[in-house]
Homo-oligomer: A and B are copies of this chain.
């Protein structure tokens, strides 16, 4: 079950900037039918969008905001699988091979999801080969990114890991050397596989070495090239 914060609204697809990004294979009629069944769901920062184990009812992608995909193990510890930006799919490749989610999703910032009934999505994919291929390409790219990132993180030591994720936030997500960290230090740790204390410690070291400036959650990369070197070395 999806927890709806606020009103679900019909998406005006003619206005939707995502239209060409995702569904450039539709003709007018198909697009109309598609959009008729599509809804937008707003979620406020911190709310849980999907809980691991619940039934997959929607295919969804992120229209605005920022969300994290994560797993919780038996002892209650979380592992962040990836952080999804606007235009990213929240539904991963498993969407068609599984009936239940193998991960949870929660909103790091106020976010809006576009959701389409999964059965409807399958129907369209069955009929429209171009759509199907487009979807496969996109889903493949997302999975690929997650796997490669996981391998990149794995081979780094603590300094390399922290440098890597700082650069990721700066380049991929905020496109700015100054940004507010959307996640706590603990969540950073859950993302890159280290302890919270060591994330904090490493950030402090970077600050002392004047590689970054820290003001609470606000972070400025002062020497991105040096961070790059640290990230690549590990």
Take A81-B151, A133-B125, A193-B155 as given contacts and tell me if A140 and B95 are in contact as well, using a CB distance cutoff of 8 Å: yes
From residue A31, how far is it (CB to closest CB) to chain B in Å? 18
- List 26 A–B pairs whose Cβ atoms lie within 8 Å, in order of A's numbering: A73-B155, A74-B232, A77-B155, A81-B151, A93-B136, A93-B140, A93-B144, A94-B140, A96-B136, A97-B140, A98-B144, A102-B148, A122-B133, A125-B132, A125-B133, A125-B136, A126-B132, A126-B133, A132-B136, A143-B143, A143-B144, A146-B147, A147-B150, A150-B150, A150-B151, A154-B154
Least CB separation from A141: chain B residue: B97
Q: Contact check, B102 vs A144: say whether CB atoms are below 8 A apart.
A: yes
Hey, which chain B residues are within 8 Å of A150, CB to CB?
A: 147, 150-151, 154
Q: How many copies make up the complex? A: 2
> In the complex, what distance in Å separates the CA atom of A151 from the CA atom of B73?
11
Q: How large is the interface on A (under 10, 10 to 19, 20 to 34, 35 or more residues)?
A: 35 or more
Determine if A214 is an interface residue (Cβ-Cβ < 8 Å). Answer: no
From residue A33, how far is it (CB to closest CB) to chain B in Å? 16
Hey, which chain B residues are within 8 Å of A195, CB to CB?
A: none
Hey, which chain B residues are within 8 Å of A138, CB to CB?
A: 97
> 0/1 per residue, A108-133, Cβ < 8 Å to B?
00000000000000100111111011
Determine if A139 is an interface residue (Cβ-Cβ < 8 Å). Answer: yes
Query: Beyond the given A79-B151, A93-B136, A93-B143, could you list 13 further A-B residue pairs with CB under 8 A, ordered by the A residue number?
Result: A81-B147, A81-B151, A93-B144, A95-B140, A96-B136, A97-B136, A102-B148, A125-B132, A126-B130, A126-B132, A147-B147, A150-B154, A155-B193
